[in-house]
Amino acid sequence: MTAMPYEPAPPEAGYPGSTVRSIVSLLLFVHVFCLFVALSTNYFLSPLQVQLLNAPFLAPYVQFFKIRPTAPYHLTDGSELSDDHTLEVEVTEGPQKGEIIRLPASKVGASSVKRRFALLARTVAVTSYLGAEQNSAAFAKAVGARVLADGNNEEVIVRCRRYRPQPRLLDTTNAANPADPTDPAYLTNTYQARVWRDRNGQVQLLKIEEKKVVAPLE
Amino acid sequence: MINAIQQYFARLTQAIGEGWNRFWFTPADPFTVSFLRVIAGVAAVAFVVSHTFGLTDWFASGGWLPVDTVQRVMETEPGEGAAYQWSYLNYIDSPGLLWAAHVAGIAIAVLFTLGLFTRITAVATLLVVLSYIHRAPMLAAQFEPVLATMIFYLCFTPCGRYLSVDRCLAMRKPGAELTTGKPDRSWSANVGLRLLQTHLSALYLMMAITKLGSTTWWEGGAMWWLMAQSQSRLVDLTFLRSNLFLINAWTHGVVLFELCFGLLIWNRLARPLLIGLSVVMWTLMALVTGLVGFCILITAGGAAFIPGSVLRSWFGADRDVDQNGGDASRRNPKGEAATAAA
């Protein structure tokens, strides 16, 4: 094994001074490490990654500057978590009784407002799917309170509904899969709750459980 | 033998050190970061302006997302509020103040786009954008983190050097003509560009790896599930339902492209092809997913890999370079190595 003599390259013109270079290099090294931890995954996390992402030296940096993206960058995983969702509020008591308000109710600034409501609906759905019902309830309560206040209503039902995507092989003879993808047959309830104002003026929420079909024992 | 090993490690560490310095600190033409400033600025203006519709409905007291609801949902420890999600909008709930803060936010983003007091407005724009994101993190999707990190990196660069009001003002100063003959290369422009390039490359790899963690991308059906989302898509492409192989090829093509971009964008020969393909891929993706802002921004982010000299020729700004080939990338004995993006 013959070692080749090493000749260091001449320093490039225009580099910053060695002290500045050392300090910047250290900061860059820390940043690249944070970038690697934050962007090595977006979906599945190992316990080590969870620990690192919550570490006191790393969490403030990657979370405040949004270096760690939390949105689903895989765009779809084929599950209900990736489907389109919508929010609607049915007024059950009050001046607007019987009215169903689909959010966004206004067409002003349609695309950006629609996008935000779609994201809010998906958040309610995802927290519900993942079992974080207290978070779904917090959002549903805020939405319900707003509709109660807007129309001077007494009670509403807030629903988060999922647009089930059409199957690729479409059998239109099957009533469950109509040709129109916006047909109500494709809508399913993901989360629904009754929201009302109590005697003290406080907004209350009670989740409505879907009726389950139970087969008879005999 | 020991001597040879010692020499090997001495050479290795020296080569790594030199490579590191060359990669991060070789001065670069700030034209590319200036161009990226305009892109990030336009995106920031569009992002902040998009909150105009229903601003008070969302953020004022009694809105769709009250501060306490967001804080409670985002908190890591009960009663402590959301960690590292600071936003000045958390302290404003009256409609009047909210509108004043909103107009100020738009003005700051516009000044950044125009390149006026760029060093200050870059940092201020970053704070404005982050404040809107952190006020309601559940309303942030794929677009927002890309925008925030882009502005964050530009804060460290002289991104107001070209295509800016700052430059026009500097040109008016006496003696300015003497310094306009050749581009002022800057190592901080290179650091910002390298950070943007590294981040973009890592983002592409992350997107590809995450997709590979999902069965639907392996099985080739993912593009169908995106097309079948009746509310978010821009164009209905479900007529492709009978072309199973096309859907499969598109799905696999997306993953392959993202992997290739993340790895091969560092290859000078593959770079123009990958940047060209990214325009096609993200245009189609925008039509299918409706994620227009994200698709535009990530495509435009590819400009971080385009050398300043090329961008200058596109904008007819090469007259800034002296007539004897004053662009330092051409005078450098190492040729293209001096260009930050090369």
Residue B257 is assigned to a structural domain of this protein: yes
- Claim to verify: residue B210 and residue B259 sit in the same structural domain: yes
Residues of B in contact with A119 (CB under 8 A): 138-141
B206 to A31: CB separation less than 8 angstroms, yes or no:
no
Alpha-carbon gap: A214 to the closest alpha carbon of chain B (Å)? 31
Would you report the helix, strand and coil content of chain A in percent, each value rounded to 5?
35, 15, 45
Residues of A in contact with B222 (CB under 8 A): 75-76, 78
Residue B177 is assigned to a structural domain of this protein: no
Residue B250 is assigned to a structural domain of this protein: yes
Q: Average per-residue pLDDT in chain B?
A: 87
Asked if A124 is an interface residue toward chain B (Cβ–Cβ < 8 A), one would say no
Residue pair B272/B261 in contact by the 8 Å Cβ criterion: no
Count residue pairs from A and B with Cβ separation < 8 A: 219
User: Model confidence over A28-44: pLDDT tens digits?
Assistant: 999 999 999 998 877 77
DSSP B186-217: BHHHHHHHHHHHHHHHHHHHHHHHHHHTSHHH
Residue B218 is assigned to a structural domain of this protein: yes
Determine the Cα–Cα distance for residues B266 and B305; give it in Å rounded to an integer.
9
| Span B77-85, average pLDDT | 70
Q: How many domains does chain B have?
A: 2
B20 to A63: CB separation less than 8 angstroms, yes or no:
no
Determine the Cα–Cα distance for residues B270 and B264; give it in Å rounded to an integer.
6
Going by pLDDT thresholds of 50, 70 and 90, the confidence category of residue B285 is very high
Give the burial class of B301: count Cβ atoms within 10 A of its Cβ; 0-12 exposed, 13-18 middle, 19 or more buried. buried
Range of the domain at B198: 186-306
Which amino acid, one-letter code, is at B162? Answer: Y
> Is residue B276 within a helix (H) or strand (E), and if so which, with residue range?
helix B271-289
Point out the least confidently predicted range of A140-149, B39-48, B73-82, B258-267: B73-82
A155-163 and A100-103 as β-strands: parallel, antiparallel, unpaired?
Answer: unpaired
Q: Please tell me the predicted confidence (pLDDT) of residue B268.
A: 92
Report residues of chain A scoring pLDDT below 70. Answer: 1-13, 107-109, 211-218
Residue B323 is assigned to a structural domain of this protein: no
Q: Please tell me the predicted confidence (pLDDT) of residue A109.
A: 60
* Two tokens, residue B120: 């200050």
Q: List the single residue in A with minimal CA-CA distance to B247.
A: A168
Asked if B282 is an interface residue toward chain A (Cβ–Cβ < 8 A), one would say no
Residue B247 is assigned to a structural domain of this protein: yes
- Claim to verify: residue B194 and residue B147 sit in the same structural domain: no
Residue B342 is assigned to a structural domain of this protein: no
More confident residue, A111 or B130: B130
> Is residue A193 within a helix (H) or strand (E), and if so which, with residue range?
strand A187-197
Q: Please tell me the predicted confidence (pLDDT) of residue B324.
A: 37
- Claim to verify: residue B203 and residue B238 sit in the same structural domain: yes
CA distances from B33 to B47, B204, B258, B327 (A): 20, 20, 24, 16
Residue B12 is assigned to a structural domain of this protein: no
- Claim to verify: residue B158 and residue B193 sit in the same structural domain: no
Would you report the helix, strand and coil content of chain B in percent, each value rounded to 5?
70, 0, 30
Question: Which of B73, B74, B75 is the best mutation test for A, with the most CBs of A within 10 A?
Answer: B73
B217 to A9: CB separation less than 8 angstroms, yes or no:
no
Residues of A in contact with B65 (CB under 8 A): 120, 139, 142
Q: Please tell me the predicted confidence (pLDDT) of residue A70.
A: 84
Evaluate if residue B330 carries a pLDDT over 50: no
Residues of B in contact with A149 (CB under 8 A): 62
- Claim to verify: residue B152 and residue B227 sit in the same structural domain: no
Angle at A142 between CA A138 and CA A143, to 5 degrees: 120
Q: Name the pTM for this structure.
A: 0.88
